[in-house]
Amino acid sequence: MNAAPTTITPLRWGIASTGGIAAQMTRALRTLPDAEIVAVGSRSQESADRFATEHQIGRAHASHAALCADPDVDVIYVASPHSEHHDMTIAALDAGKHVVCEKAFALNAGEAEEMIEAARRNDRFLMEALWMWFNPAVTDIRRRVAADEIGNVISVDADFCIDVPDPEGRHRRIDLAGGAMLDLGIYPLTFACFVLGEYPDQIKTIGRLTDGGVDATVGGVASYPSGVISTFRTSIDAISSMGAQIVGTRGRIEVDPPFLYTTGFTVHTLNADPVTVELPHEGLAHEAAHAMQRIRDGHTQSDVSTWDTTMQTMRLLDEVRRQVGVIYPSERSAGRRDDTKP
């Protein structure tokens, strides 16, 4: 006789902010049977109501504080501009909610430490939502590199440039922690870190700033303890191929663009025909499903996007910004800037 299927009580999500990435996560959560979206919070009732109506969400809150106070919310997805991640995440954790916070996790390593400490203090789950790290194709690339399919890796190259011309948009506003690195550059920078399973011990960057003081274009080269060299490029002034390539002593892997949400890649090895791999993905659903499983299993952090990798990423971003000369207003006033080199 077959056992009756186990019924899983859905984890109830609140969406903090109503921008494009919030809409993407909302659609992704709809595909997961063990997730339920019960509320959305915004800075105005009008914005919250509009998002709730469009996405058929039961409750719309006119503030993040009201969302945090909602007793029916288990997990809050923080999708606000980078400048608000720190305060919104800590408020949610202190309210007893689990948190999945969009990348870049914070403005700097100092803020990230405070956010992680809040998760420890409240015994709540906290994860940076770096969805590329949960993409099935990218995960399989990491597995193949670790399995030595292309020999010893000597270089990893990636670029992510898009044209964002709106002078009033968040990408070009220093008060909203705009610029290319935190929003776009984090992908080519951490692609190498993820597939190699290590972080660089040295990084050199050069960049060009906007008149408003944010980084418009940044390029860099990093070296790793294993001897690998990686290059990355990012910009909010142009459109690139958004490609990536991993070169080893016995072959290479060419990643289909856009590499951060790729659905395939080709493995070229010596004395063999190229092997093309196709692995479709479900967008942000992979990271959301992972977070929910970790929460159900009683963990406070991911074993993929760990607190340690988040801290290492933030220190790298801090160093890149130090080298190109980007300091956000809140860093000047609060003295939070962490300029420790990786």
Mean pLDDT by 10 residues, the chain (342 residues): 62 97 98 97 97 98 98 98 96 98 98 98 98 98 98 98 93 95 97 98 98 97 98 97 97 98 97 96 97 98 98 98 96 59 44
pLDDT at 65: 97
pLDDT at 7: 72
Structural contact between residues 159 and 219, judged by C-beta atoms closer than 8 angstroms: no
Give me the DSSP letters along 174-239.
Answer: GGGT-SHIIIIIHHHHHHHHHHHTS--SEEEEEEEE-TTSSEEEEEEEEE-TTS-EEEEEEESBS-
Residues 6+ apart with CB under 8 A from 165: none
Domain spans in the chain, listed from the N-terminal domain onward: 11-131, 136-280
Instruction: Give burial (CB, 10 Å; 0-12/13-18/19+) of 142.
Output: middle
pLDDT at 8: 84
How many angstroms separate the most distant Cα atoms in the chain? Answer: 71
CA distance linking residue 104 with residue 78, whole number of Å: 11
SS3 86: helix
CA distance linking residue 196 with residue 224, whole number of Å: 9
| Angle, in degrees to the nearest 10, between helices 20-30 and 45-55 | 30
Q: 11-131 belongs to which homologous superfamily?
A: NAD(P)-binding Rossmann-like Domain (3.40.50.720)
| Amino acid, single-letter form, for residue 71 | P
Structural contact between residues 132 and 187, judged by C-beta atoms closer than 8 angstroms: yes
Vertex 175 angle, CA 62 and 215, to 5°: 135
Which CATH code is given to the segment(s) 136-280?
Answer: 3.30.360.10
pLDDT at 334: 59
pLDDT at 335: 55
User: Residue 190's closest CA among 303, 304, 77, 309?
Assistant: 309
Token digits for 139? 């995960």
CA distance linking residue 240 with residue 160, whole number of Å: 6
| Cβ-based neighbour number of residue 239 at 10 Å | 9
Token digits for 103? 């990348």
pLDDT at 155: 98
Instruction: Give burial (CB, 10 Å; 0-12/13-18/19+) of 36.
Output: middle
pTM as predicted: 0.94
Q: What's the half-sphere exposure (Cβ side, CA atoms, 13 Å) at 45? A: 0
SS3 255: strand
pLDDT at 5: 47
pLDDT at 42: 97
Cα 261 to Cα 135, 150, 163, 340, distances in angstroms? 7, 22, 18, 31
Residue 9, sorted as left (phi over 0), alpha (psi -120 to 50) or beta, turns out to be beta
